[in-house]
Structure 1
Amino acid sequence: MTRSDPIHQIRYAVRHPGRIVPHLRRLARDTWIRLRTDDHVSYYRAVMKSDTARSPEAAVGSKSHARWLALGQMQFDYLVGHGLRPEHRMLEIGCGNLRAGRLFIDYLHGSGYYGLDISPDILVAAQHTLAEYGLREKLPHLTPVRDLRFAFLPDRHFDVVHAHSVFSHSPLHVIDECFAHVGRVMKPGGWFDFTFDRTEGREHQVLREDFYYRTETLLDLAARHGLAARFMDDWEKLPHKQSKIRITLP
């Protein structure tokens, strides 16, 4: 049984009656947005516009400021513990309002951070984060995008590519597009870490916003694009609901 199964949803509603009305509001909003958009990127950009207007921190999946800080620190600590160095150039896909990005920017040498996001609204919030945390002198790049082809970025430029809570909101064709092009912008010896919502049963989605994949699906997809991928077991020990895979160039 998956989260999209009606029986699961009924049981969940019985256990959490206070969440029924917010869920119905979200369902109504998302249905309205779907009727007005033609593709997933346009749809999710509209979702982020709505969410960011209420709270930029909630829009990136943090229910409180304390949680926003903790999740950013967790991502930062993990990457530093797994090879990120100050001299590296880093590309962050789905940088949001710099929950972790503010720490990466501060740690890396000037102009060493490049953040992408499909939401112009959350990038405006990211600019506020830069000012709030005194990071303007580091001159990070923040760029809105409509796809994950990276056509405007140079070959073999980034030591580290990072995507946290991006593929958990992406249909498989978006992930496939990323895998088809990310290897071009990675330096030899570099790596690409991404998180995803893992299921051991049937792959499914909820409200076209939350997507659940088997590990094998993503490992096989990476292999089809000539990328080496491995499941990061030690990430599972951290207080986060998602799983992580690391991609390298063979």
Structure 2
Amino acid sequence: MKRARSSLAHQATYAIKHPEKIVPHLRRLARDTWFRLRTRDHVSYYRAVMRSDTARDPEGAVGSHSHKRWLEVGRMQFDYLVEHGLKPECRLLEIGCGNLRAGHLFIDYLHTGNYYGIDISPDILIAAQDTIVRHKLADKLPHLTPVRDLRFAFLPDAHFDVVHAHSVFSHSPLHVIEECFAHVGRVMKPGGWFDFTFDRTEGKEHHVLREDFYYRTETLAGLATSYGFNATFMEDWERGPHKQSKMRLTKRTTL
């Protein structure tokens, strides 16, 4: 995408083509203003967004506007990771696990105790507990933990084979992504990898309200490289029916 979604030209064109979206956008704009005035940082802001969205519909809060779509997007994430190296014996850290849209499949697939989901929203983690009950996954002993940052200070060194973040950086300003890159390598095992999706733009980087952020591939790849990672753009993911792009990070080995 070359035209910034935040530009007046894009918004005017979109409004003409989709007049039914005008009122929902104005409601979203009003909520954005209210939350920005009442919160001190982006994590607090987005926690408030998730509280509001989860109260209406937990599946909608993670970006799925029907149960069918919730199942489809979860399956997409799961199938891709399994096809690209996830094994039952792997320990998986899912950043922004939500209400376990993909997590319920990971939990069922992985060995008992090998799934660890974190999220900034306590409200969506309560919904995740409901998903565990509904899918009869309690015996797999999944870990679900609320967090206030992406420093992972409470997690052990070199513990996870795979780290996964779907539709997290698409809602994150660059300093939040940098915080993650600065610390996630510590909790990854040698030979482990970190897959994340992001909203990609080929033009000017921008955001819509404080909810949706668009980055150039080279920006995130360069930032990852500065923290000791090799960054690979996952072109085969791009060929699928996905709205976001995907990148894989592996730790650079030093001689």
The equivalent residue for 2:197 is 195
1:206 and 2:225 matched: no
TM superposition shift of 1:61: 0.4
The equivalent residue for 1:80 is 82
The equivalent residue for 1:172 is 174
The equivalent residue for 2:127 is 125
**AA aligned opposite 2:52:** S
The equivalent residue for 2:148 is 146
Runs of at least 5 residues in structure 2 that lack an aligned partner in the other structure: none
1:18-33 alignment runs, 5 A limit: 18-33=20-35
What CA distance in whole angstroms lies between the structure 2 residues aligned with 1:224 and 1:103?
33
What CA distance in whole angstroms lies between the structure 2 residues aligned with 1:243 and 1:17?
28
What CA distance in whole angstroms lies between the structure 1 residues aligned with 2:184 and 2:143?
18
The equivalent residue for 1:50 is 52
1:210-240 residue CA offsets vs partner (Å, 9 max, x unmatched): 0000000000000100111110000011111
**Root mean square deviation, CA, Å:** 0.4
TM superposition shift of 1:30: 1.2
1:221 and 2:223 matched: yes
Identity of aligned residues (%): 77
What CA distance in whole angstroms lies between the structure 2 residues aligned with 1:166 and 1:238?
19
Indicate which of 1, 6, 10 corresponds to 1:8: 10
What CA distance in whole angstroms lies between the structure 1 residues aligned with 2:230 and 2:152?
20
1:41-100 residue CA offsets vs partner (Å, 9 max, x unmatched): 000000000000000000000011000000000000000000000000000000000000
1:9-33 residue CA offsets vs partner (Å, 9 max, x unmatched): 0110000000000110111011101
**AA aligned opposite 1:238:** G
The equivalent residue for 1:184 is 186
TM-score (norm 1): 0.99
- 3-state SS of 1:19 partner: helix
**AA aligned opposite 2:158:** R
What CA distance in whole angstroms lies between the structure 1 residues aligned with 2:9 and 2:238?
28
1:118-150 residue CA offsets vs partner (Å, 9 max, x unmatched): 000000000000000000000100000010000
Q: Across the two proteins, how many residue pairs are aligned to each other?
A: 250
Runs of 4+ in structure 1 off by over 4 angstroms are none
Indicate which of 115, 118, 124 corresponds to 1:116: 118
What CA distance in whole angstroms lies between the structure 2 residues aligned with 1:197 and 1:210?
8
